[in-house]
């Protein structure tokens, strides 16, 4: 209903400004401070004061006189407060919010008939996913969820780097060394942990072996790279034998988050189908192409980029970015819009790619990039798959679940444990809370800000964390269960919303009403952390209602009871769907 009210306010202001023959390009609509009872306010009087030759409060009063509130459905009153116009909600606003909130899909926006491909994670298949890269699948998955709820037709892609030097080194090492040559046992019984030892052994050999041995190894590695470039089927199959095994293990790790994909797009696809070579040929024909020391490069100064982009090496082989350019042109041909989630170390590459796509005549307005900073652990451990250092994402998730289980166990007294929760329940809750704590803590921060993951903060049931928000959902489910309705039961929706008249009830309804607008704005900005912020605000609003407004007490009027139960049901749908966007489980009990 917030979106409907905002639309109504916009139309009312535009009409008033038009009648006064004033510009309507900036309405100054904003959410007022918490101590103002309005749902929306307008500061447009500030902008118009000079043009109208009056003070802002005088302008606000004149505009208010031009708006007939009786013509509006969701606005009950319009009040001026100095230079501000404050719009107060009507009974219809609250009644329709309550009815809409009891829908299972509450918050989802209408179909936009627009396809979007969200590419994220895309870590090189050289070994286990480490903690430093955890932000990519978590943020990427949340962005995809957010766009889907906002009405887009979304596909989730993982772009597999299976043609670069790293994979050539990996393939050579896998074929060269045996188990007896490896210096350590596998850290975990899963294929990528086993095979990464070959990759690490190969890199160590290239650093430590004598010059003649290194030259021989480099010749074999170069043969693999040349074979891929030439489209040699036997070389491709050799590399894929490594890539597919490692990628299979990485997928198992990512599914724990969960972060799932519709397609794993391999960069060799764009070499084998000829599109990379075709693109390189087009680039060489542009006025921006220069040949320096045998390598073809692009001069992108016209786009404010000083560093030239090499798109063909002196030996004629393509680079990752060359293949990614072909990949992106395929995206533009297949989808209406492309969103890519990248680490902050890819900013220059992303700028070069966008500029090159532009000079090739592509509509780069359809391209969006989200850059994120790394996740650190206390102590600042370094992360390197090549050297075999760092903390793996699997280890972080295991510890999160163990710590959550300890926290849950500490909160259960013997009676609750015996009567309501068995070991399977505790395990379920520990998994939901532990994984949720990791995801929520990471996605709730602005991507550009670095994160140091702190256990105490992430698993604090009393602070604004995943457990804090998850507990709101569990509390809603508990109330509905106690009322005999249950989570999947039908709550009475034909209730009188006017009975929800306390400040706590009205504040909760207003917060519920904002949810679709939060989805809309967060999707437009590609910022899922806005949804996380909303969940914390929602948690505070619901807990205020829970403290002040008993639902099932014996002395509560039956009609009020039914209205409050509907409000609890609307609250449950709101928080469950918001958590769903973030990829955080909504436990029914905690």
Residue 214 has pLDDT above 50, yes or no: yes
Q: How much of the chain exceeds pLDDT 90, in percent?
A: 80
The mean pLDDT of 143-165, rounded to a whole number, is 97
- Looking at residue 385, its pLDDT comes to 42
The β-bridge partners of 384 are 389
Whether 2-89 shares its CATH topology with 393-582 is answered: no
Higher pLDDT, 107 or 372: 107
Q: What is the DSSP string of 407-465?
A: HHHHH--HHHHHHT--HHHHHHHHHHHHHHHHHHHHHTS-TTS-EE--HHHHT-SSSSS
- Looking at residue 566, its pLDDT comes to 96
The mean pLDDT of 227-249, rounded to a whole number, is 96
- Looking at residue 423, its pLDDT comes to 84
Q: What does the mean pLDDT of the chain come to?
A: 92
- Looking at residue 381, its pLDDT comes to 47
pLDDT, tens digit (0-9, with 9 covering 90-100), for 501-547:
999 999 999 999 999 999 999 999 999 999 999 999 999 999 999 99
**Whole-model pTM?**
0.92
- Looking at residue 390, its pLDDT comes to 61
Residues 6+ apart with CB under 8 A from 442: 134, 135, 138, 139, 375, 451, 453
The mean pLDDT of 461-471, rounded to a whole number, is 84
Range name among 111-115, 269-273, 285-289, 386-390 with the lowest pLDDT average: 386-390
Residues 6+ apart with CB under 8 A from 578: 107, 515, 518, 531, 534, 535, 538
- Identify whether the C-beta of residue 367 lies closer than 8 Å to the C-beta of residue 329: no
- Identify whether the C-beta of residue 386 lies closer than 8 Å to the C-beta of residue 203: yes
pLDDT, tens digit (0-9, with 9 covering 90-100), for 474-505:
999 999 999 999 888 888 888 999 999 999 99
What are φ and ψ of residue 309, in 5° steps? Answer: -100, 115
Residue 163 has pLDDT above 90, yes or no: yes
- Looking at residue 456, its pLDDT comes to 77
Residues 6+ apart with CB under 8 A from 221: 165, 168, 169, 172
- Looking at residue 388, its pLDDT comes to 41
pLDDT, tens digit (0-9, with 9 covering 90-100), for 371-413:
988 777 676 543 344 444 468 899 989 999 998 998 888 877 5
Q: Is the peptide bond before 461 cis (omega within 30 degrees of 0)?
A: no
- Looking at residue 33, its pLDDT comes to 86
In whole angstroms, what is the distance from residue 363 CA to residue 341 CA? 19
Residues 6+ apart with CB under 8 A from 228: 163, 168, 235, 236, 239, 268, 271
Q: What is the CATH number of domain 2-89?
A: 3.30.1360.70
Q: What is the DSSP string of 319-388?
A: -HHHHHHHHHHHHHHH-SEEEEEEEGGGHHHHHHHHHHHHHTT--GGGEEEEEEPPEE-TT----BTTTT
Residue 559 has pLDDT above 90, yes or no: yes
Residues 6+ apart with CB under 8 A from 360: 279, 282, 283, 286, 325, 329
- Looking at residue 486, its pLDDT comes to 85
Distance of CA 477 to the CA centre of its chain: 26
* Token pair in block for residue 477: 């489910």
156 vs 115, 330, 334, 412, CA distance in Å? 11, 15, 13, 40
- Looking at residue 428, its pLDDT comes to 92
What's the chain's length in residues? 590
In whole angstroms, what is the distance from residue 514 CA to residue 535 CA? 11
- Identify whether the C-beta of residue 583 lies closer than 8 Å to the C-beta of residue 142: yes
Residues 6+ apart with CB under 8 A from 549: 502, 504, 505, 564
- Looking at residue 420, its pLDDT comes to 67
Q: What is the CATH number of domain 393-582?
A: 1.10.730.10
The mean pLDDT of 154-173, rounded to a whole number, is 96
- Domain limits, the chain: 2-89, 120-376, 393-582
Range name among 352-361, 454-463, 554-563, 564-573 with the lowest pLDDT average: 454-463
256 three-state secondary structure: coil
Q: What is the CATH number of domain 120-376?
A: 3.40.50.620
- Looking at residue 315, its pLDDT comes to 87
């Amino acid at each position: 209903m917030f979106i409907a009210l905002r639309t109504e306010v916009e139309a009312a202001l535009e009409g008033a400004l038009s009648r006064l023959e004033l510009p309507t390009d900036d309405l100054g609509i904003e959410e007022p401070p918490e101590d103002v009872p309005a749902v929306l306010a307008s500061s447009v009087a500030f902008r118009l004061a000079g043009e109208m030759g009056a003070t802002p409060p005088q302008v606000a009063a004149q505009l208010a006189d031009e708006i007939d509130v009786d013509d509006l459905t969701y606005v009950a009153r319009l009040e001026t407060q100095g230079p501000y116009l404050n719009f107060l909600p009507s009974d219809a606003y609250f009644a329709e919010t309550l009815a809409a909130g009891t829908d299972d899909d509450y918050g989802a926006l209408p179909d936009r008939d627009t396809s979007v491909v969200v590419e994220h994670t895309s870590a090189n298949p050289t070994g286990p996913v480490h903690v430093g890269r955890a932000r990519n699948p978590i943020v990427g998955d949340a962005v995809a969820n957010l766009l889907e709820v906002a009405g887009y037709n979304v596909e989730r892609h993982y772009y597999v780097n299976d043609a670069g030097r790293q994979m050539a080194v990996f393939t050579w090492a896998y074929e060269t060394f045996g188990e007896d040559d490896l210096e350590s046992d596998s850290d975990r019984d899963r294929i990528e942990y086993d095979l990464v030892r070959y990759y690490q052994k190969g890199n160590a050999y290239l650093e430590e072996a004598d010059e003649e041995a290194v030259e021989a190894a480099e010749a074999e590695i170069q043969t693999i790279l040349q074979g891929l470039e030439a489209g040699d089927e036997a070389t491709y199959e050799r590399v894929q034998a490594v890539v597919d095994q490692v990628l299979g293990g990485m997928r198992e790790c990512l599914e724990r988050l969960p972060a799932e994909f519709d397609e794993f797009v391999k960069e060799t696809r764009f070499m084998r189908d000829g599109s990379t070579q075709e693109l390189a040929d087009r680039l060489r024909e542009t006025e921006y192409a220069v040949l320096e020391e045998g390598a073809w490069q692009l001069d992108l100064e016209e786009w404010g980029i000083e560093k030239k982009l090499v798109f063909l090496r002196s030996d004629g082989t393509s680079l990752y970015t060359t293949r990614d350019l072909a990949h992106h042109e395929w995206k533009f041909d297949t989808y209406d819009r492309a969103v890519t989630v990248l680490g902050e170390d890819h900013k220059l590459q992303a700028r070069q790619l966008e500029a090159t796509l532009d000079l090739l005549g592509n509509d780069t307005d359809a391209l969006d990039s989200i850059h994120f900073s790394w996740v650190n652990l206390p102590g600042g451990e370094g992360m390197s798959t090549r050297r075999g250092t760092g903390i793996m994402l699997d280890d972080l998730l295991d510890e999160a679940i163990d710590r959550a289980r300890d926290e849950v166990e500490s909160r259960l007294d013997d009676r609750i444990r015996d009567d309501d929760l068995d070991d399977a329940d505790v395990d379920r809750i520990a998994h939901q809370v532990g994984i949720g704590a990791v995801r929520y803590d990471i996605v709730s921060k602005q991507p550009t800000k670095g994160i140091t993951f702190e256990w105490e903060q992430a698993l604090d049931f009393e602070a604004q964390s995943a457990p804090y928000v998850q507990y709101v959902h569990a509390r809603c489910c508990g109330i509905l269960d106690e009322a005999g309705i249950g989570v999947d039961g039908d709550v009475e929706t034909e209730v009188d919303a006017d009975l929800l008249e306390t400040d706590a009830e009205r504040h909760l309804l207003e917060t519920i009403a904002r949810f679709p607008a939060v989805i809309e704005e967060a999707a437009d900005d590609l910022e899922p952390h806005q949804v996380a912020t909303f969940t914390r605000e929602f948690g505070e609003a619901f807990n205020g209602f829970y403290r002040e407004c008993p639902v099932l007490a014996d002395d509560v009027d039956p009609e009020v009871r039914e209205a409050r139960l509907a409000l609890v049901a609307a609250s449950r749908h709101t928080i469950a769907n918001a958590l769903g966007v973030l990829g955080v489980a909504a436990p029914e009990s905690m």
